[in-house]
Structures are given as structure tokens and as C-alpha cells.
Amino acid sequence: VILDIDHIGIAVPDLKDAVERYGRTLGVEPIHRERVEDQGVEEVLFAVGSSFIQLLGALGADTPVGAFLEKRGPGVHHIAYRVDDVAAAMARLRDEGVRLIDETPRRGSRDTLIAFAHPKDMGGVLVELVQVP
Ligand code: MC0
């Protein structure tokens, strides 16, 4: 069951600059910062209602966000849906013929369990499933 939009991930070339710009222009405060080595990112979250805007800096060129920035430039990188059961949501996508990037759930930021579905099967949008502990 999808509960909410968990976050919208935005790839930025300069995290410090983007955090300052988002904070100033939207009048929002960053509420969380975390380095997720496994995913090759450093994230900063801004709370917007019950969801987050996630600014993503790449930890290197050979990471998903690094490659995205190189190929497509800054912009929306993925949309993450908050689900009650990530394994069940993955099974549903799989049954519907959607290619999953992760065979089993992985650990995301905030101790979440996450899994990605391929953008080519989701209207050109990289989709993340997020189960909050
Ligand atoms: C690539 N493509 C995308 C895309 N990335 N389309 C939409 N959104 C994206 N983010 C498109 C390319 O333009 C290309 O289309 C095709 O997909 C293949 O791309 P590629 O450049 O060859 O890249 P791949 O296939 O090597 O990798 C793409 C893939 C990868 C999505 C499989 O980035 C991946 O495994 N992502 C999942 C992990 C991730 O993104 N982690 C970072 C966030 P054309 O038409 O040119 O062929 S981690 C996160 O956010 C955590 C911390 C959290 O939330 O807790």
C-alpha cells in the first residue's frame, strides 16, 4: 500500500550551494543530512508537509547521481513512494513486469528500507520505494 510521497530526489552539482539556495528561496530549513556510502550520495532533506525534498550530491563520478549529472545535468533524479511493506510493493511491481534494480530491499537513509524500479518501465522516472522503520 502506498502511503504518501516520501521524497523527491534532486541531483545537484554543489550540495552546499543548493542547500543554501533552497533554504533561502523557499524559506525552509534543512532537517537531516546523511552520507549513504552504499548509494554514493550525500543527502540533505527539507520537510514539506509530510514529505521531503531531498537534495543529492554525488560522492564521485562513478556513482548513480554522478553519472546522472554528467549525462543529464542537474534536476529531478527520482520520486520515492512511502509504502507500508517494501517487499510487497516490490512483488507487485515485479508481477506487473516492471524491472527492479534491487533484488532485495537495501538500507537507505534514516534507517529506511528502499528499492528502486527502472525508469524505462515507469514513464522515464526512476522510482524508489521506501519503508520507514
Ligand atoms: C538513468 N536514466 C534515467 C535516470 N538514470 N532516467 C530517469 N531518471 C534517472 N534517474 C536513463 C538514462 O537517461 C538512459 O536513457 C537509461 O536510463 C540508462 O541510463 P545509464 O546512464 O546507462 O545509466 P545506468 O543504466 O547505468 O543506471 C541507471 C540506473 C542507476 C537508474 C539503473 O542509476 C541506478 O541503479 N539507480 C538506483 C540507485 C540510485 O539512483 N541511487 C542514488 C539515490 P537513454 O534513453 O539515454 O538510454 S540513493 C537515495 O536516494 C537513498 C540515499 C535514499 O533515498 O535513502
pLDDT, one tens digit per residue, over 38-64 is 999 999 999 999 999 999 999 999 999
Q: What is the dihedral of CA 89, 91, 92, 96, to 10 degrees?
A: 140
Of 7, 39, 42, 131, which one is the catalytic site residue?
7
Q: Please choose, from the candidates 79, 77, 124, 119, the residue with its C-alpha nearest in 3D space to the C-alpha of residue 99.
A: 119
Q: Is 59 left (phi over 0), alpha (psi -120 to 50) or beta?
A: alpha
42: Cβ below 6 Å to ligand 1?
no
Q: How far apart are CA 41 and CA 55, in angstroms?
A: 10
- Residue bearing the CA closest to ligand 1, atom 26: 64
Active site residue 131: no
Give distance in angstroms: CA of 117 to centre of ligand 1.
9
Per-residue tens of pLDDT for the chain, all 133 residues: 999 999 999 999 999 999 999 999 999 999 999 999 999 999 999 999 999 999 999 999 999 999 999 999 999 999 999 999 999 999 999 999 999 999 999 999 999 999 999 999 999 999 999 999 9
Beta bridge partners of 50: none
